[in-house]
Amino acid sequence: MKNRTKIILIIGFTTLLLSIGARALAKTTITKTIESNQITDSSLFEQELEEDGKHYILSGYEELIAIPETKVQTYTSDEKILNSNARASLDNEFESSYLYEDDEFKGELKLKDYKIQEIDNGYQERIDSKYIYFNNLPTNDLEQIAKEQVIQGANYVLINVEWSANSSLDVDGTVVPTTYNGKALYQCVIRTANPKTYKVQAIYEGIVTKKNGSNEYILTYTEKEDSKPIVEEKHNNITPVFIATAGIMMIGIIIMLTNKNATVYNLQKGTLVKLKSKRIRAESVIDITDCENISGNNFILVIKDSSYQKLNGKRVYIQFNKQRKEIILTSHKIGFKF
């Protein structure tokens, strides 16, 4: 409880010091942010300025390298008329990447896909002729000849038949045909589709970077004292050191007061069970009454090596319920019972 009170007081005091230092620093310095498209020499910055009736001089600056602005960019190429839409064929016709650049951005885009439009080039027509022969017909009458024939899935129409005698008789010196052969001409209009072609454009996509990225500079100005000469970057050095020192002191004191250097263990079936850790000094009391995981009456007190040299030979107490055990520190590890 005493340590906690000390910690609270130390934190409060250190916070007060930091607050005072910060207010002192705020009163004497101001900052200004500017942008530039190129790294600028400090001599080109505004060296002095006035604000709220006070005169300030440049005491330092910090350069913030800006991350260039980027964006996703797509590009569609000029179209090409090609005979194939196979991917391998298209890859041979177009580049795998495209160097993109406009007024603000540039970068390399990678081939992503193709935009393909099929072109129907119509068809061609031609007349195809087929002959079918008929033999040993009784007459040369067209009625016995089919007017249409389906050949290889196409419908052919009868155009003409050439007749010739197959057999004949001599009647009173006149040869009279008795059977006939026929040569029938059938024709069909064959339509053949012209090969298709393809209108193709390559689509590219990638990250492009802004060409003229600007850097930011944070300029620090220190209030000028009329009675003292202007010395760049040497004003108000005491205040930051003061603040840093106070902060380090606070951290060090808190660590020192909260670092636990003693631990009580309960020996249970050959296993050490941790009960409580605490920072102790001579005559300190470690109360284990509120520890719920106690079993048996074998205990060990362990002191950290870093603290034992100061505590060697000192006396401490272990409290358990209404019993208080006195222990003289003669070793890093001391076993005891109640």
Task: Look at residue 72 and give its three-state secondary structure.
Answer: strand
SS3 for 10-71, per residue? HHHHHHHHHHHHHHHHHHHEEEEEEEECCCCCHHHCCCEEEECCEEEEEEEEEEECCCCCEE
Checking if the pLDDT of 136 tops 90, the result is yes
* pTM of the complete model beyond 0.85: no
Checking if the pLDDT of 256 tops 60, the result is no
Chain mean pLDDT for the chain: 84
Query: What is the percent of the chain with per-residue pLDDT over 90, rounded to a whole number?
Result: 51
CB 150 within 8 A of CB 188: no
In this prediction, residue 32 carries a pLDDT of 83
In this prediction, residue 60 carries a pLDDT of 86
Q: How does pLDDT run across 65-112, given as a tens digit for each residue? A: 666 789 999 999 999 999 999 999 999 999 999 999 999 999 999 999
Q: How does pLDDT run across 201-238, given as a tens digit for each residue? A: 999 999 999 887 667 788 889 988 753 444 444 444 55
Q: How does pLDDT run across 39-69, given as a tens digit for each residue? A: 556 777 888 888 888 899 988 887 776 667 8
CB 266 within 8 A of CB 335: no
